């Protein structure tokens, strides 16, 4: 598949040929489940013929349906473009198809989608990861030049790792959330999923920057990074030793080899441990579900999307939400409502916010001694459908990514090896807030060293 860097040099006619080629490949491989709507049904002509970029189904494109892969939003058409979409169009790129996702971004496998599951392009018996599984599978299968996803607790990095792509979660507030369907407003962040690190830097440059329409957008000076990356810059990289030791044997072996490669490239390696990551999981699910409970209260059968039959207003609310939301979304709304309820707010939500501040402080302390942190993206490679019987086990697949969202830091997943089954293993790099340049330089050095 042509890279984003190469695609940006194409003529209008060549871009048109590329779009036609992609359409044919997508129609020929509908079984993968990467896209939720046939491209022929989308009003692409109104958007011009820019370089095609796949868009996760929770990012608004004017005139397109946007459903967050939920039954409750069937029939809803976006009345405006998300800021990231406006930025794509201004840079000569264009939305190209809606990609599948876990319903309202709640999940780690893209199995909770109203449209059905997405398969892993590396092994179709395995999950693609989530919640941006459709975007990652599209890029991994060569059905997209690049894609946009959203990351609340690892939803860009984990599926990118499972599907063999590069996934970048920018610093919270660096990319506008205007036009993004909210799951957890203090954690959600839009970011790129690409074929390589350089493409991730290019797409990041295009979508980043302050936006007055988004109250969570940081009014901090932004400078482009893609044309300034120095892969030869020597960095101090802190390896989180206990997290690597907790990973599966093949993942551990691949990550330790990646550390050796970085050391051979001249980077200084130091080792530290982080506290039990299960505390981060508890913190994350309390905060995320509490915010989800508040955000999803707007889907009531009156204002948005699908409306159930009912005899009175109370029945309308109950029926619309009961019929419209899937089981995973219902579970998280119930949990969030519980932790925000009288008598439990202080016991759970306030404590979780204090724990979040502790997590942020842990990262700041380590990053005061190094340029980057290296740890796994997930405990293992992509697992088989139905392999994790206990829902709590699937939550653990985000065990190494959620703390980054709690701290609001930038992070990237970079493929480093294939296991015996041909499944991808990725390393996760984390940088100081607003320092995506160093993050991408370290990622590019790792990518080049692994290939070399």
pLDDT tens digits along 30-39: 899 999 976 6
Is the pLDDT assigned to residue 177 strictly greater than 60? yes
Q: What would the DSSP string read from start to end of 39-93?
A: GGGS-GGGG-S-EEEEEETTB--TTSB--TT-GGGTT-B-SS--HHHHHHHHTTE
- Res 304: pLDDT: 75
- Res 39: pLDDT: 62
State the Rg of the chain over Cα: 21
Is the pLDDT assigned to residue 391 strictly greater than 90? no
- Res 66: pLDDT: 95
Residue 111 to residue 107: CA distance in whole angstroms: 8
- Yes or no: say if 407 and 360 are a contact pair by the CB < 8 Å rule: yes
State both tokens at 353: 């916010």
- Mean pLDDT across 351-380: 96
- Res 223: pLDDT: 93
Is the pLDDT assigned to residue 173 strictly greater than 90? yes
Domain boundaries along the sequence of the chain = 4-207
Report percent pLDDT > 90 for the chain: 87
Residue 6 to residue 146: CA distance in whole angstroms: 12
Is the pLDDT assigned to residue 49 strictly greater than 90? no
| pLDDT (tens digit per residue) in 50-67 | 999 999 999 999 999 999
Residues constituting the chain: 452
Is the pLDDT assigned to residue 452 strictly greater than 80? no
- Res 47: pLDDT: 52
- Res 397: pLDDT: 77
pTM: 0.95
Long-range contacts of 301-304 (CB under 8 A, 24+ apart): 304/72, 304/73, 304/76
State both tokens at 431: 């940088």
Query: Which residues contact residue 370 at a Cβ distance below 8 angstroms, ignoring those fewer than 6 apart?
Result: 235, 236, 237, 238, 270
Q: Which helix (H) or strand (E) holds 190?
A: strand 189-194
Which of 272-281, 315-324, 359-368, 381-390 reaches the highest mean pLDDT? Answer: 359-368
- Res 387: pLDDT: 85
- Res 342: pLDDT: 83
Is the pLDDT assigned to residue 43 strictly greater than 60? no
Q: Which residues have a catalytic role annotated? A: 56, 131, 155
Tell which CATH architecture fits domain 4-207.
Answer: Alpha-Beta Complex (3.90)
């Amino acid at each position: 598949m042509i890279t984003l860097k190469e695609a940006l040099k194409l003529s209008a006619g060549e871009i048109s040929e590329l779009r036609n080629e992609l359409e044919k490949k997508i129609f020929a491989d509908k079984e993968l489940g990467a896209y939720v709507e046939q491209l022929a049904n989308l009003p692409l002509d109104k958007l011009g013929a820019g370089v095609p970029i796949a868009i996760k189904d929770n990012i608004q494109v004017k005139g397109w349906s946007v459903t967050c892969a939920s039954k409750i939003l069937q029939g809803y058409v976006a009345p405006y473009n998300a800021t990231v979409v406006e930025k794509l169009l201004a840079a000569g790129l264009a939305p190209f198809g809606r990609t599948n996702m876990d319903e309202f971004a709640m999940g780690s496998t893209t199995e909770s989608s109203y449209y059905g599951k997405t398969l892993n392009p590396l092994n179709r018996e395995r999950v693609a990861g989530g919640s941006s599984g459709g975007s990652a599978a599209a890029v991994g299968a060569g059905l997209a030049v690049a894609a946009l996803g959203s990351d609340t607790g690892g939803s860009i990095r984990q599926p990118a790792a499972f599907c063999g792509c590069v996934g970048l979660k920018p610093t919270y507030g660096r990319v506008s959330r205007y036009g993004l369907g909210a799951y957890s407003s203090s954690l959600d962040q839009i970011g790129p999923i690409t074929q390589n690190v350089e493409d991730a830097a290019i797409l990041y440059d295009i979508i980043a920057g302050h936006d007055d329409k988004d109250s969570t957008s940081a009014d901090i000076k932004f400078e482009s990074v893609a044309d300034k990356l120095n892969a030869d810059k020597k960095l101090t990289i802190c390896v989180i030793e206990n997290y690597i030791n907790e990973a599966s044997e093949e993942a551990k072996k691949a990550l330790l080899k990646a550390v050796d490669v970085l050391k051979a490239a001249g980077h200084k390696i130091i080792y530290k441990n982080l506290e039990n990551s299960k505390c981060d999981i508890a913190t994350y699910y309390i905060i995320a579900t509490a915010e989800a409970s508040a955000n999803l209260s707007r889907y009531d059968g009156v204002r948005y999307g699908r409306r159930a039959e009912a005899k009175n207003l109370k029945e309308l609310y109950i029926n619309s939400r009961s019929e419209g939301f899937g089981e995973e979304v219902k579970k998280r709304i119930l949990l969030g409502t519980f932790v925000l309820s009288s008598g439990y707010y202080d016991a759970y939500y306030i404590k979780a916010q204090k724990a979040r501040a502790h997590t942020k402080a842990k990262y700041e302390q380590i990053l005061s001694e190094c340029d980057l942190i290296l740890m796994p993206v997930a405990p293992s490679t992509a697992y088989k459908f139905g392999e994790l019987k206990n829902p709590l086990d699937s939550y653990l697949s985000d065990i190494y990514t959620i703390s980054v969202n709690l701290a609001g830091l930038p992070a990237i997943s970079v493929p480093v090896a294939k296991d015996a089954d041909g499944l991808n293993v990725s390393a996760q790099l984390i940088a100081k807030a607003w320092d995506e340049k160093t993050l991408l330089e370290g990622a590019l050095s790792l990518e080049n060293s692994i290939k070399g």
